[in-house]
Chains A and B, each alone.
Chain A
Amino acid sequence: MEYLFIDDDADDQEIFGMAVSEIDASIKCVFADDGIEALEMLQNLQALPSCLFLDLNMPRMNGTECLEEIRKIEKLRAIPVYMYSTSSDPAIMEECRRLGATDFIVKPPGLGALTEILKQIMLPN
């Protein structure tokens, strides 16, 4: 089990890491600061992660641009991508679904809430 979390905000990376540890300390998380770094990592990783969490608002390459690139790469086409953002703009959510996002997670206010959401995705049973 391995997850890739892509967000330029160091605090968010830390919060995400804490939430995942709450679920299962053995789950491995890798972090990327923006879309370009994420794409490089995906090209170089031995094994593909189970799924991606992708922030929207990032420098260099933002979430939607990164999503588009991911869907262009044959071996990444089937990988689930969860958009992860403060934004709850329906237009952006719709755009992300159109570009092939699996789902859209609005960053919740609090660690407990985030843990609950991630548990649904990581431990479906």
Chain B
Amino acid sequence: MAGKDKRIIDNEERLRMAIESTQLGTWEYYPLSGELHWSDECKRIYGLAPGESVNMDAFSEHVFPADREAVGAAIQKAMDPAGTGLYDITYRIIRFDNRAIRWIHPKGKVFFNKRQQAERFIGTVVDITDFKAFEESLLESEQRARIAVEAADMGTFDWDIATGTFYSSTRLLQIFGFSGNRDVSHDELIQRLHPEDRHLRDKAVKDSFESGSLVYEVRIVWPDSSIHWIKVHGKIMHAESREPQRMYGTVVDTTVQKSEEALLEKLVTERTLSLLASNEELKKSEERYARMAEEVRDYAILLLSKEGHILNWNRGAERIKGYTESEVIGKHFSIFYLPDDRKSKLPEKLIRQAADEGRAMHEGWRLRKDNTIFWGSIVITALHDSDNNIIGFSKVTRDLTERKLAEDRLKKYTSELEAQNKELEQFAYIASHDLQEPLRKIQTFTEVLEKNIEDPEAAKKYLERIKSSAQRMSQLIRSVLEYSRLSNADIVYEPVNLNTVIENVKLDLELLISERGVTIEQGELPVVRGVPLQMQQLFFNLVSNAIKFSDESPWLGISSRKVPPAEAREYPLLQPGMPYVEIVVKDKGIGFEQKYAARIFTIFQRLHGHKAYPGTGIGLALCKKIVDNHHGHIRVESEPGKGSTFYVYLLASVK
């Protein structure tokens, strides 16, 4: 243990000696307690003996007054927890011993505790006074040299204004382009001034008589026609009468400087021009682009921020979505989406897809400002900066409502056509089947008749059978025709009062009703939208059907009610949002099992034998067809022996 401690002490000593040999002082300052420690070398720099103690007050007092502000600022900056903690400054101090002014260069670092407080501030210091002095002498000698060089290049003159005597130095004559050592008059010199610049000289001389000093820069023309720039400085000496008496001064050739300046100026001008031009070009192209986007009317083109807020808006957007620019800028683009799409986060999904894949496309119903909807085709494209960070999105929307509606219409027509085709196929098959039956019987009974032609009794019987089969066939053909005509009917709806319809049906069935002793209980019926003749056919069939399938003293109830919208929605064939009424036709007849409910509306399907209940099997198929044509619905509830109830849903007439 002792050995290790010793080694550490040795090492520290060595380090101290190494530092001191570099004349580097070290210091430590603990801002929280205010403690300040200086190394011996540090004290030596400040003119203190090794044993003497220091504190911050003494430190501050010995900073040269003019440097105090800078030192305070540097310390504060170093102790700022948000900064680097570094301290590096050169300034002057006043030594403790002889109050001599010295330049020092301290460097340090501040260490912060966990609470971000400056805890320890340590560093080094070196006396740089000698270095500073050297630096200054260097600067001074440099300046002196420069002045000398310049002086060597200068021409001088001395002009006795009163006598007109003009003295020019040899250098001045060289500058003006005179060679040799001859005398040159003042006028000769003035003659060399560029004619365009002569007035500048005249004015400068005139001004100098007032101000006492002369300065001007003009061109001179040498005998070889070359042009040179000169700069003239002069000073007026006044006589006791205050009249200008003498002027002496210097002339410098500034041609090189001027041409450099001119070249620079030219370059700057050119560069500026080309910058202006390209700037103009850029502006134009930007403007063209912006104007183009703005003017496009068939597409909504907008820019979105990274979060989906609208940044700009074009005419197309205004036309398609109905908002003006001022209304919509800054809003989130989800305002164009239907509540359900907003709930399912569709806008956010599209933005995310565009961010992930570069582009997102979508078609769907969108909301305009006035809450109407349009079918939009949308492309959202992510926009990137040069570092490939997403800076926003462009969104192009087309209003394809017309196309969508046309497509939907086409789809509807197609499915209608398909349904009609299928129905037609079924119809043709069943019709041929049922029409063949009486025909086959006619053929068969004709054959039997031939065999029994000698027996009048039998012949009469088979002729009777042939006749009834032919009648049945003609009846079938008539109802098939009626049914097929219905399919092709042009629907023109008009208000139809069902009370009147039932009255007419009763008149048509008058004989049957009185023969069979039919009771009809009828409530007040509504006015519906329909084709009058078809309504007549519908209720004729329902009423006669009810009478036919009742055994004795038939009873019929006919009533109606309005259909609540929620209930109407259960029948997909009804038009949504339209008012419907339900007409109920109830009998107490023989009924049938509920499982045959769908079959009875199919053409030529009979649930009961010919013998007891003759019929073509078309009546209820006809009813269904009529109701379908009227965007309605028909259904039946039945129980054998108890009777059947038919429910018919029809569009109510709105006044």
Interface residues on chain B, size class: 20 to 34
Cβ B447 vs Cβ A110 within 8 A: yes
Residues of chain A within 8 A of B609, CB atoms compared: 8, 33-34, 58-59
Cβ A86 vs Cβ B437 within 8 A: yes
Give B135-169 as 1s and 0s: 1 = Cβ < 8 Å from A's Cβ atoms.
00000000000000000000000000000000000
Cβ A110 vs Cβ B610 within 8 A: no
Stretch of B251-259, B339-347, B438-446 with 4 or more beta carbons under 8 angstroms from chain A: B438-446
Add 12 more A-B contacts to A57-B604, A59-B609, A109-B440 (CB < 8 A): A8-B611, A10-B610, A58-B609, A59-B607, A59-B608, A110-B443, A110-B444, A110-B447, A111-B444, A111-B447, A111-B448, A114-B444
Cβ B610 vs Cβ A9 within 8 A: yes
Would you list 26 pairs from A and B whose C-beta atoms are within 8 A, ordered by A residue? A8-B609, A9-B437, A9-B610, A10-B610, A10-B611, A11-B465, A11-B469, A15-B441, A15-B444, A18-B448, A33-B609, A33-B611, A59-B607, A59-B608, A59-B609, A60-B607, A60-B608, A86-B434, A86-B436, A109-B439, A109-B443, A109-B444, A110-B443, A111-B444, A111-B448, A112-B447
A71 within 8 A of B: no
What is the chain A residue whose CB lies nearest that of B434? Answer: A86
How many interface residues does A have (CB within 8 Å)?
22
What is the chain A residue whose CB lies nearest that of B605? Answer: A57
Cβ A87 vs Cβ B439 within 8 A: no
- B549-595 contacts to A (CB < 8 Å): none
B429 within 8 A of A: yes
Residues of chain A within 8 A of B444, CB atoms compared: 15, 109-111, 114
Give B420-457 as 1s and 0s: 1 = Cβ < 8 Å from A's Cβ atoms.
00000000010001101101110110011000000000
Residues of chain B within 8 A of A9, CB atoms compared: 437, 610
Residues of chain B within 8 A of A89, CB atoms compared: 429
How far, in Å, is B438 (CB) from chain A's closest CB? Answer: 9
What is the chain B residue whose CB lies nearest that of A14? Answer: B465
B606 within 8 A of A: yes
Assembly CA distance A87 to B610 (angstroms)? 18
- A1-37 contacts to B (CB < 8 Å): 8-11, 15, 18, 33-34
A119 within 8 A of B: no
- Chain B contact residues, majority secondary structure: helix
What is the chain B residue whose CB lies nearest that of A9? Answer: B610
What is the chain A residue whose CB lies nearest that of B472? Answer: A11
Assembly CA distance A18 to B452 (angstroms)? 13
Residues of chain A within 8 A of B611, CB atoms compared: 8, 10, 33
Residues of chain B within 8 A of A33, CB atoms compared: 609, 611
Residues of chain B within 8 A of A109, CB atoms compared: 439-440, 443-444
Residues of chain B within 8 A of A97, CB atoms compared: none
Cβ A87 vs Cβ B607 within 8 A: no
Give A99-111 as 1s and 0s: 1 = Cβ < 8 Å from B's Cβ atoms.
0000000011111
What is the chain B residue whose CB lies nearest that of A60? Answer: B607
Q: In the A-B complex, list the 10 residue pairs whose CB atoms are closest, starting with the nearest.
A: A109-B443, A8-B609, A59-B607, A111-B447, A109-B440, A59-B608, A110-B447, A86-B436, A59-B606, A111-B444
What is the chain A residue whose CB lies nearest that of B599? Answer: A62
Assembly CA distance A114 to B443 (angstroms)? 12
Cβ A87 vs Cβ B441 within 8 A: no
How far, in Å, is B41 (CB) from chain A's closest CB? Answer: 115
Cβ A8 vs Cβ B610 within 8 A: yes
How far, in Å, is A12 (CB) from chain B's closest CB? Answer: 8
How far, in Å, is B570 (CB) from chain A's closest CB? Answer: 30
Assembly CA distance A58 to B607 (angstroms)? 7
Residues of chain B within 8 A of A57, CB atoms compared: 433, 604
How far, in Å, is B621 (CB) from chain A's closest CB? Answer: 14
Cβ A107 vs Cβ B440 within 8 A: yes
Residues of chain B within 8 A of A59, CB atoms compared: 606-609
What is the chain A residue whose CB lies nearest that of B436? Answer: A86
Give A73-110 as 1s and 0s: 1 = Cβ < 8 Å from B's Cβ atoms.
00000000000001101000000000000000001111
Residues of chain A within 8 A of B433, CB atoms compared: 57, 86-87
What is the chain B residue whose CB lies nearest that of A58? Answer: B609
Cβ B441 vs Cβ A11 within 8 A: yes
How far, in Å, is A108 (CB) from chain B's closest CB? Answer: 8
Assembly CA distance A57 to B610 (angstroms)? 12
How far, in Å, is B605 (CB) from chain A's closest CB? Answer: 8
Assembly CA distance A73 to B437 (angstroms)? 32
What is the chain A residue whose CB lies nearest that of B593? Answer: A60
Residues of chain B within 8 A of A87, CB atoms compared: 433
Residues of chain B within 8 A of A110, CB atoms compared: 443-444, 447
Give A48-76 as 1s and 0s: 1 = Cβ < 8 Å from B's Cβ atoms.
00000000011110000000000000000
Give B184-199 as 1s and 0s: 1 = Cβ < 8 Å from A's Cβ atoms.
0000000000000000
How far, in Å, is B297 (CB) from chain A's closest CB? Answer: 57
Assembly CA distance A120 to B436 (angstroms)? 24
Assembly CA distance A53 to B437 (angstroms)? 17
Residues of chain B within 8 A of A10, CB atoms compared: 610-611
Residues of chain A within 8 A of B441, CB atoms compared: 11, 15
Residues of chain B within 8 A of A112, CB atoms compared: 447
Assembly CA distance A112 to B441 (angstroms)? 13
Residues of chain A within 8 A of B604, CB atoms compared: 57
Contact of B440 among A18, A34, A60, A86 (CB under 8 A): A86
Most buried by B among A9, A11, A33: A11
Residues of chain B within 8 A of A58, CB atoms compared: 609
Assembly CA distance A107 to B433 (angstroms)? 11
